[in-house]
Amino acid sequence: MFEAVAFYLFAFLTITMFYIAVTTSQSLYALSSLAAGMIFISAFFFILGADFLGAIQIVVYSGAVMALYAFGMMFFDTTRDVKEKQGNKAIILGLSILSAILVIVIVSAPIVGNNIEALYPVTEGAGNVQEVGMVLFTKYLVPFEVAAVMLLVAMIAGIVLAGKKMDLSLTLMTEAEILMMKEEDKNKKALS
Amino acid sequence: MEIGLNHYLVLSTILFAIGLVGVMRRKNLLMLFFATEILLNSVNISFAAISHYYGDLTGQMFAFFVIAIAASEVAVGLGLLIVWHKKHNNIDLDNMSTMRG
């Protein structure tokens, strides 16, 4: 009973939040509603008994990803309204048909896969975090390492791409130096 | 009332459709990234639900890797976006026609 109440409550909240994130024209509203939706999604993981996944969801999404987006939005003009595409009837029609097909496929998938059995079944008497650790560090060790390398590559790429002129600090420079830097930037823009 | 696997799958489908609509109608690249996050999250819900109802941990493992990929995608994507914004002073999708053949 409580599970049903929680499911419907969080389903309603998540759908509302993501709908706002997709349709609003203010990027700040989109950011905050997306962060709220991420936290509401972690509630589903807790309902489903995937405690570790829920904690990771909160830490990674609303901690790291949202902070990164907020950081990125400092660079962009966020007060301006986001311009929208003009509604294209053909695209909307195609989307609705695609979504409908998707519903049918997803709902019929468990019926087709009725005879599948668990590869890594849940062990008795172990918490979710323990189970995850046991499977992750035995069967999924290689993908785990590859994911670590991928995160390292992404981190270096982020530093290289966004970190130009990070060695300069506007607060430590004198006024004359800042003016000179701005002049240089202008010249570069005029050239390119 | 019992909540079954289909409930979660329907919810995941609805969220995926919302994300798909967002990807199709957004012009601003930052907003497009938000929509892709919604897509990834909706898939994660169905992974966790299948993992729970079949008593198998593989679904949760896949959800972890999806989260890792989403995090690195955001890092690289935002870096590229900042570079593009420094160069062209906007992040509209329609202006990105330099790679058009």
Mean pLDDT for the stretch of residues A161-184: 73
Structure tokens at A69: 């987006």
Confidence (pLDDT) at A18: 92
Confidence (pLDDT) at A149: 94
B101 pLDDT more than 60: no
Long-range Cβ pairs for the range A162-170 (8 Å, 24+): A162/B78, A162/B79, A162/B82, A162/B83
Of A80, A37, A45, whose CA–CA distance to A62 is shortest?
A37
What chain A holds in terms of domains, given with CATH numbers, is 1-82 (1.20.120.1200)
Confidence (pLDDT) at B22: 85
Cβ–Cβ of A30/B33 closer than 8 Å?
no
CB neighbours of A172 closer than 8 A, spacing ≥ 6? Answer: none
DSSP at A121: B
Mean pLDDT for the stretch of residues B31-51: 90
Which one of 3.50.30.10, 2.160.10.10, 1.10.287.3510, 3.40.50.1010 gives the CATH number of domain B28-94? 1.10.287.3510
B100 pLDDT more than 70: no
ipTM: 0.89
Mean pLDDT for the stretch of residues A67-72: 84
Q: B58-86, pLDDT tens digit by residue?
A: 888 999 999 999 989 988 888 888 888 87
Q: In the block, which residue shows the tokens 């349709």?
A: A23
Mean pLDDT, chain A, integer:
81
Burial of A67 (0-12, 13-18, 19+ CB in 10 A): exposed
Mean pLDDT for the stretch of residues A179-186: 79
> Higher model confidence: residue A180 or residue B96?
A180
A116 pLDDT more than 70: no
Confidence (pLDDT) at A10: 93
Cβ of B88 under 8 Å from any chain A Cβ? no
User: Of B11, B78, B91, which has the smallest distance from its Cβ to A68's Cβ?
Assistant: B78
Mean pLDDT for the stretch of residues A34-44: 92
- What whole-number percentage of chain A has pLDDT above 70? 81
Residues 35-54 of B with CB under 8 A from A: 35, 37-38, 41, 44-46, 48-52, 54
> Higher model confidence: residue A8 or residue A161?
A8
Contacts of B13 in chain A (CB under 8 A): 99, 102-103, 106-107
Q: SS3 sequence, A29-92?
A: HHHHHHHHHHHHHHHHHHHCCCHHHHHHHHHHHHHHHHHHHHHHHHHCCCCCCCCECCCCHHHH
Residues 110-129 of A with CB under 8 A from B: 110, 116, 118-122
Considering the entire predicted model, what is its pTM? 0.81
Mean pLDDT, chain B, integer:
84
Structure tokens at A98: 């695609």
Distance from the B93 Cα atom to the nearest Cα atom in chain A, whole angstroms: 10
Residue of B nearest to A43 (CA): B45
Confidence (pLDDT) at A170: 64
The whole-angstrom separation of Cα B65 and Cα B70 is: 8
